[in-house]
């Protein structure tokens, strides 16, 4: 008799974004003339840049020739791409051998757990990108949820009071997820804040899984772009990152994970965690698409990097427009200066799903309710800076003119 993985039944509710899509669809069906603007899901909107298009096209052309054809490649990724990514870590101890290319940060952030014991205690920032929680629920590392809060999971609240970066957990935890720049709050951890977590992890033989998917959006050079800028991080941290937001690869799919030789936990030798991840990837993954990897190599050449910078500036200008518009209305808004997300305090203390409905009904604008990212997200709301400029301006105009504030 086959049995299902009953942990799936513990999942508190539908995944956040399908729920947003459902409510938006229902509104759209009831109001077919409404022109809905979406600043909800953090999906990129601008087209691929010319250097990347060239890189992708050349790879396709080459595959059409006998000499240029290649089949399966190393599951770790092609050498030129691993070298190019490693250059982003210049000044740290990371080298190309530590880079594992993948089809994106989402899958890596859940797949990485399979190399750790199922009785590890997991700590997450609250609010957090939902995948960290849901994937650990599915893997059986939590109990049941009561009102969206899972037994056995350690929530590290990120609030306005602590600048949206958590205190160290008060109990011993084994695996800690940190996302900086943060989705959804837009906050970026400082060197000192990360150093506290690295010191904690080394002392407690814990592992930090650091998600740097938005690192290129950091404008303030004094803030760390990778956890490996922090002393000792190579002994306790695995970093996961992505081409999705930096160059618009959300549909193209390309990411990477960094596993240094030195990283260890309670019962492993240096080098062993890296070997396990290599084994895991060799077993379950046949490598990212060779065409897409060529696009990644192009993205990291000098012309590609310049275009990336311009694309990032474009989205950051959107973020500025959104944050400024909200502030003018007297709405308290955070983030948006080193991250493409603006995290606003819902006006008049209304609930975040209630604000979702209000914004949709009064302004025909879709955003993301903070509560969907964890209990501490209640009372907050995320607006994404990924959008065409005209849409972002129109959304801000509508919010300014049509949102009914008491
Ligand atoms: N990590 C964070 C924090 C994200 O916000 C996202 C996407 O929104 C991802 C990872 C997913 O990245 P990818 O498209 O590479 O799977």
Q: Name the closest-CA residue to atom 2, ligand 1.
A: 213
pLDDT, residue 54, reads 98
Answer yes or no: pTM beyond 0.95: yes
Q: For residue 36, give both structure tokens.
A: 């809905």
**Phi, psi of 181, rounded to the nearest 5 degrees:** -55, 145
**Helical segments of 179-269, H only:** 191-204, 244-247
Contact call for residues 349 and 308 (beta carbons, < 8 A):
no
Res. 13: pLDDT tops 70: no
| Percent share of the chain, pLDDT over 70 | 99
Average pLDDT, the chain: 96
pLDDT band at 18, cuts 50/70/90? confident
Mean of pLDDT values over 263-282: 97
Res. 95: pLDDT tops 90: yes
Q: Please, which residues bridge with residue 383 across strands?
A: 342
Res. 329: pLDDT tops 80: yes
pLDDT-wise least confident of 97-101, 147-151, 385-389: 147-151
What's the CA gap between 341 and 386, in Å, rounded? 8
pLDDT band at 263, cuts 50/70/90? very high
Q: Name the closest-CA residue to atom 12, ligand 1.
A: 105
pLDDT band at 157, cuts 50/70/90? very high
Mean of pLDDT values over 37-66: 95
Cα 115 versus chain centre, distance? 21
Q: Which atom of ligand 1 is nearest to the CA of 129?
A: 3
Find where tokens 């190019």 sit: 84
Contact call for residues 277 and 115 (beta carbons, < 8 A):
yes
Distance 401 CA to ligand 1 centre (A): 33
15 vs 19, higher pLDDT: 19
pLDDT, residue 42, reads 87
Q: Is 101 in the pocket of ligand 1 (CB under 6 A)?
A: no
- Which residue among 240, 242, 289 has the greatest number of ligand 1 atoms within 8 angstroms of its CB, and so is best to mutate? 242
Q: Is 129 in the pocket of ligand 1 (CB under 6 A)?
A: yes
Res. 336: pLDDT tops 80: yes
pLDDT band at 371, cuts 50/70/90? very high
Q: Is 255 in the pocket of ligand 1 (CB under 6 A)?
A: yes
Cα dihedral 335, 336, 340, 342 sign? positive
pLDDT, residue 14, reads 61
pLDDT band at 326, cuts 50/70/90? very high
pLDDT-wise least confident of 41-45, 141-145, 334-338, 390-394: 41-45
Res. 258: pLDDT tops 90: yes
Distance 402 CA to ligand 1 centre (A): 32
| Percent share of the chain, pLDDT over 90 | 95
pLDDT band at 19, cuts 50/70/90? confident
Q: Which atom of ligand 1 is nearest to the CA of 42?
A: 8
Question: Tell me: the pLDDT tens digits for 20-30?
Answer: 999 999 999 99
Find where tokens 């062993």 sit: 272
pLDDT, residue 26, reads 95
Most distant pair of Cα atoms in the chain: their distance: 69
**Number of helices and strands (H, E) in the chain?**
12, 15
Q: Name the closest-CA residue to atom 8, ligand 1.
A: 42
Domain annotation for the chain: domains and CATH numbers = 7-48+304-402 (3.90.1150.10), 52-301 (3.40.640.10)
Question: Tell me: the pLDDT tens digits for 171-229?
Answer: 999 999 999 999 999 999 999 999 999 999 999 999 999 999 999 999 999 999 999 99
- Which residue among 15, 20, 41, 129 has the greatest number of ligand 1 atoms within 8 angstroms of its CB, and so is best to mutate? 129
Burial label, 285 (beta-carbon count in 10 A; 0-12, 13-18, 19+): middle
Res. 164: pLDDT tops 90: yes
């Amino acid at each position: 008799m086959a049995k299902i993985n009953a942990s799936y039944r513990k999942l508190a509710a539908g995944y956040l974004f399908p729920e947003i899509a459902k409510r938006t669809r229902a509104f759209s069906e009831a109001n077919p003339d409404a022109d809905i603007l979406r600043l909800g899901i953090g999906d990129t909107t601008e087209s691929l840049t010319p250097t990347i298009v060239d890189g992708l096209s050349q790879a396709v052309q080459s595959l059409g020739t006998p000499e240029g054809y290649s089949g399966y490649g190393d599951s770790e990724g092609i050498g030129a791409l691993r070298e190019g990514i490693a250059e982003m870590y210049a000044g740290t101890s990371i080298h190309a051998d530590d880079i594992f290319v993948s089809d994106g940060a989402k899958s890596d952030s859940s797949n990485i757990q399979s190399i750790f014991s199922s009785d590890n205690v997991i700590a997450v920032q609250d609010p957090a990108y939902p995948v960290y929680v849901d994937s650990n629920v599915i893997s059986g590392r939590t109990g049941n949820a009561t009102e969206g809060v899972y037994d056995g999971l350690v929530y590290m609240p990120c609030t306005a009071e602590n600048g949206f970066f958590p205190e160290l957990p008060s109990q011993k935890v084994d695996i800690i997820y940190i996302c900086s720049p943060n989705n959804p709050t837009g906050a970026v951890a400082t060197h000192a804040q990360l150093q506290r977590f690295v010191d904690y992890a080394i002392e407690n033989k814990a592992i930090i899984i650091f998600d740097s998917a938005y690192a290129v959006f950091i404008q303030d050079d004094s803030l760390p772009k990778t956890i490996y800028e922090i002393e000792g991080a190579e002994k306790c941290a695995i970093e996961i990152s992505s081409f999705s937001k930096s160059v618009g690869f959300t549909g193209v799919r390309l990411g990477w994970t960094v596993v240094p030789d030195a990283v260890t936990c309670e019962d492993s030798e240096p080098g062993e965690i890296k070997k396990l991840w290599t084994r895991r990837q060799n077993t379950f993954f046949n490598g990212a698409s060779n065409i897409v990897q060529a696009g990644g190599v192009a993205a990291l050449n000098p012309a590609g990097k310049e275009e990336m910078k311009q694309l990032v500036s474009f989205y950051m200008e959107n973020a500025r427009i959104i944050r400024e518009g909200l502030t003018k209305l007297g709405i308290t808004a955070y983030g948006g200066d080193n991250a493409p997300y603006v995290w606003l305090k819902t006006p008049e203390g209304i609930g975040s799903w209630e604000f979702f409905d209000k914004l949709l009904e009064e302004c025909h604008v879709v955003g993301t309710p903070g509560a969907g990212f964890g209990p501490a997200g209640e009372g907050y709301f995320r607006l994404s800076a990924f959008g065409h400029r005209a849409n972002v301006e129109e959304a801000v105009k509508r919010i300014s003119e049509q949102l009914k504030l008491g």
